Amino acid sequence: MGTCARYKSINVWCAAGKGTFGTEELIRRIKTVKLGLIVNHKRVIVPQLGAPGVSSFTVTRQTGFRVVFGPVYSKYIGEFIRGGYKATPEMRIVKFPLHDRLVLTPMEINPAMKKYPLFALIVLLLFGLHPEGIIFADAVKGGLPFIIMGLLSVLSGAFITLSCCPSFPLGHLQLKAGLQG
């Protein structure tokens, strides 16, 4: 998986789900590059996981290109074409191994860490607040364990959740989504 800055998503599945990759973008790209003048066929292969955002009927109607939903992974495109634009069951399965899951940890940690300074400030205020004012020594002494535990919670939650994903008792959801760990 590679990061796509233009679509601000980790992959085409996420971009399609967010509405940043879809019918209009595909039509615009086909017309912008004048694809009909470059290739001698009227077929465009779209990643299978981009399907939620693409109306093949609309693309065909506006560009003349027929949309074919290809395999999940680009490494299978050659085999897909040689097989007459037919995908094998292996080509339709999303694999989500540990390495790919761990790559996503920044996407889990970053949103939590944006709120973490506010959490730390509130904790320090709660422990440091006294009738005489804010006592910094008390704030640090009482609040530091909570600040550390909060940080550990964010980090462990991101790593443990993503690394153990296939082990969670959500087998039905994983099967329904076509995911394999």
CB 179 within 8 A of CB 94: yes
Question: How many C-beta neighbours within 10 Å does residue 172 have?
Answer: 8
Contacts 24+ apart (CB under 8 A), 27-35: 27/58, 27/59, 27/62, 27/63, 30/59, 30/63, 30/65, 31/63, 35/63, 35/65
- How many CB atoms are closer than 10 A to CB 57? 10
More confidently predicted of 60 and 178: 60
Distance CA 3, CA 177 (A): 22
Q: How confident is the model at residue 48 (pLDDT cuts 50, 70, 90)?
A: confident
Mean pLDDT for 112-130 is 93
Mean pLDDT throughout 44-71? 92
pLDDT at residue number 166: 65
* Contact criterion met (CB below 8 Å) for 27 and 59: yes
CA distances from 174 to 93, 96, 107, 168 (A): 11, 10, 20, 10
DSSP label of 96: -
Identify the band that residue 115 occupies on the pLDDT scale cut at 50, 70 and 90: very high
pLDDT at 127 over 60: yes
Residue 138, pLDDT score: 92
Tokens 């074919």 identify what position?
68
Residue 175 in this model has a pLDDT that exceeds 50 = no
Out of 67-71, 94-98, 144-148, 154-158, pick the least confident: 94-98
What was the pLDDT predicted at 105? 83
Write the DSSP string, 28-82: HHHHHTTHHHH-SS-EEEE-GGGGGG--HHHHHHHHSPEEEE--SSGGGHHHHHH
